[in-house]
Amino acid sequence: MIEIQFWWLVVLPVFFGLGWLAARVDIKHVIAQSKSLPSAYFKGLNHLLAGETNKAIEVYVDIAKNHEETIELQFTLGHLFRRRGELERAIRMHQKLLARRDLSSAQKEQAQLDLAIDFIKAGLFDRAETLLHELSETNAAKAARVELLAIYQQEHEWQKAIEIAQQLRDESHTYQHEIAQFNCELAAAALIRNQIEQAQVYLENALSVHRQCVRARLMLGEILFSQHQVQMAIDQWLLIEAQDESYLSLVARNLLKGYEQLGKVEDGIELLIRYLQRYPELDVVDLIYEHLIATQGVDAAHKFVRERLRDSPSMPGLRKLLEAHLLVAPDDQKSEIELIGKLLHDNTREHTMYYCHECGFKTRQFFWHCPGCNGWETYAPIRGKRRKQAE
C-alpha cells in the first residue's frame, strides 16, 4: 500500500506538468491564429454585432477576394447570398470555390452540391441535374438524390421521382407515402390521355407500396364509376373506412352519387349519418343537410342539424343550425338571425379551411401535395383541423 502511494506521488506531478504544457501550447496556437486573421475580419464582426449586416457582408467579400485561404468564409457567404435571394452572387461564389485546386474531396463535393442548389433556386434545373448526377458515387450522393427528388417533383417527372425515392429508402424514411402519391400522379396523367388500364396499373402499384393510400382507392372508385360499374365503385370507396376513416369526408359526395345511381339515395343518407355518429369530426354535415332539404324538406333538415348540434356541439354545427333556423323562422326574425350568422361566420372563418401540419399553409381546397412546403399527405382531411405532427 505504501508502495502504491509512493508511485502516485511521482506520477501526479508529471501529469500536472503535461497539462500545464498543453495549455501553454493551446494558448500560443490561439494567439497565433488570431494574429493571422486580417484586421478587416474584426471590422466585419463589429458590423454584425451592430446589426449592420450589409456592411459586414461587403467586408467579408473583400476578405474572401484578397485572402485565398478563406475557404470556409466563402462557403458561408455563398449560403448567405442564397438565403438573401442573391442567387447570381451565390452561383459566382460557389463557382469560384469549385475552380480552386486546394479543395479537399469533401469540400469539392460540398461546393458542387451548393452550386446545384443555387441552380435549383434559380430555376436552372438542367444544370442542377447534371451536377447532382456527377455526385452519385460520392459521399454526397444521398444529399444529391434528395435535391434530384425535389427537381423531379417540380418538373412532374414522376417516374424519375419514383426511381430516386426508391434509392433513398432506408429505415428512417421509407418514402412509401411519396412513391404511392407519385403513382397516383402518373395515374392522373394517364386518365387525361384516356389510358384507363394504364391508370389502374399505377393505382394498384400505389396500393402495393402503401396499402393505406386513400387517394389510390378513391381514384379506382372514380374509374369504375365512369365505366358505370357503380356497385363496384361503392365497394372501393367503402374500403376507405378501414384505411383511414377521417378521409370518408372526401368520398362522401361520391358515395351519395353512387347510391343515387342505384336508386338507393335513402340508404346513402343513412350510411353518412351512421358515419357521422361513429366519427363526429367528419365533414359531411353540409352534404346530409342539402340532401335532406332536397328529399325530405326543410323540417327534416332542421331537425337533423338540431340533433347533431346537441350530440356534438361545434361552431360549424352552430352555423348550420342558424342557417336552418333562417329557413323556418318568421320573417320578422330573419334579419336578426342573418346578423348572428354573419358575425359567427366572420369569427370562425378558420373552421372552413384545410391546414397543412408541416408549414401551416391554409386553403379552402384540399390538396394531396401542399403548395406551401411540397409535402405529401400533410393535410388533415377535415376542415379546421390541424393534424398532429405524430400523425
Phi, psi of 218 (to 5 degrees): -65, -45
**Does 184 count as an annotated binding residue?**
no
**Does 359 count as an annotated binding residue?**
yes
Cα Rg, the chain, nearest whole Å: 32
Give the total residue count for the chain.
391
* HEC per residue, the chain: CHHHHHHHHHHHHHHHHHHHHHHHHHHHHHHHHHHHCCHHHHHHHHHHHCCCHHHHHHHHHHHHHHCCCCHHHHHHHHHHHHHCCCHHHHHHHHHHHHCCCCCCHHHHHHHHHHHHHHHHHCCCHHHHHHHHHHCCCCCCHHHHHHHHHHHHHHCCCHHHHHHHHHHHCCCCCCCHHHHHHHHHHHHHHHHHCCCHHHHHHHHHHHHHHCCCCHHHHHHHHHHHHHCCCHHHHHHHHHCHHHHCHHHHHHHHHHHHHHHHHCCCHHHHHHHHHHHHHHCCCCCCHHHHHHHHHHHCCHHHHHHHHHHHHHHCCCHHHHHHHHHHHHHHCCHHHHHHHHHHHHHHHHHCHHHHCEEECCCCCEECCCCCECCCCCCECCECCCCCCCCCCCC
Handedness of CA 88, 91, 94, 95 (dihedral sign): negative
Q: Are strands 354-355 and 362-363 parallel, antiparallel or unpaired?
A: antiparallel
**Does 213 count as an annotated binding residue?**
no
Residue stretches of the annotated binding site for Fe cation: 356, 359, 370, 373
Binding residues: 356, 359, 370, 373
